Structure 1
Amino acid sequence: MLYVRDLLTEPVETVAPDEQVSEVLSKLARADFNGFPVVEDDRVVGVVTQGDLVRLFQTEERVLWIPIGLPPFTETLTYAVNVSWDDLDLGIDLARNVNRPVSEVMTADVVTVAPDDDLDRVLELLSGTINRLPVVDEDERLVGIVTREDVIRALRDERAAE
């Protein structure tokens, strides 16, 4: 039977909750993975992923509804004017969000595993929308990380050894 301690990757690249979104974007651009545990005093307080950051910069349909009519406005027509210009929206979103701390955009409800958890628990957790599991010791301190890739590699190696 495989356990988390057999699968985990260490050391783990992390970010701090007060790091700015722009810093994390730079780190992700250089990384071979798409998310970081957010750690404060060696304890996991969140996870930030590419998805969390992309959602900050997704342009939205911005429609301005303008009522048109004559006083006393008892009968009006409402016109929708699309004021969404993708490049402008992206620039505004970028300027508005790059200095935000990661703590404002991270997922704070983090699912973790312990080194002694077995492969079945890991498979159950990774079979949904979770892609990475921070591994914490009994004091809730980060000791490693397990990803879907780690599990697949370990299963491949185990089968090859048989």
Structure 2
Amino acid sequence: MQARDLMVEDVQTVSPDDDVSDVLKRFARVEFSGFPVVGDDDVVLGIVTESDLVDLFEPEDETLWIPIGLPPFVDTLTYQIDVPWSEIETGIDFVRESGRPVSEVMTTAVVTVTPETDVEVVLDHLSGDPDVNRIPVVDEEGRIVGIIARQDVIRAFRDDRLA
């Protein structure tokens, strides 16, 4: 079995110039969690996942430190207040981050295979790194010709066992 036996040829992709907000809208309409990012020549430049975009809107610190003290006092005291930032911060982050191009948030170290790649190599990639959930299939010039998701491999093995 080779990658061509597992891959889906109808691949939905995004451009590196697409806005984060546009890609978020596309994720809302599809049943998968990652898009290959391709240039005008269909060469794979990266992958953008839901996780990449969610990370943009996660508050890093939900603690507000307020300095207490008035000039000319040099020393100030600080008080820690835990504020439920999630709703406020998410809204602010969405406005700030939504216009960013996908090229700034995509993963550029993309694992790819060719249609002739043996299924064992595909399995090694998908089982070796928990962050690799899909593998673009590319031709000799790096242009996308298909994609293999983990569920495609599972489905192929199931179908093979049932045959």
TM over 0.5: yes
Q: Report deviation, 1:80.
A: 1.8
Q: Report the equivalent of 1:148.
A: 150
User: 1:28 maps to what in 2?
Assistant: 27
> Which residue number in structure 2 is paired with residue 135 of structure 1?
137
Partner of 2:99: 99
Q: 1:59-74 maps to which residues of 2 (within 5 A)?
A: 59-68=59-68, 71-73=72-74
Correspondence for 1:82: 82
Contact 1:61 1:84 (C-alpha < 8 Å) held by counterparts:
no
Provide structure 1 residue ranges, at least 5 long, that are not aligned to the other structure.
none
Could you tell which deviates more after superposition, 151-160 or 63-72? 63-72
Structure 2 residue runs of 5 or longer lacking an equivalent are: none
Return the letter of the residue paired with 1:73.
Answer: V
RMSD of aligned Cα (Å)? 1.6
Greater than 4 Å deviation, 4+ residue runs: 69-72
TM-score calculated relative to the size of structure 2: 0.90
Match of 1:112 in 2: 112
TM-score (norm 1): 0.90
AA at the equivalent of 2:152:
D
* Offset, 1:149: 0.7
Moved more, 138-147 or 79-88: 79-88
Q: Report the Cα offset of residue 69 of structure 1.
A: 5.0
* 1:57 positional shift: 1.3
| DSSP-derived class of the 2:147 partner | strand
C-alpha distance in 1, partners of 2:113/2:45?
14
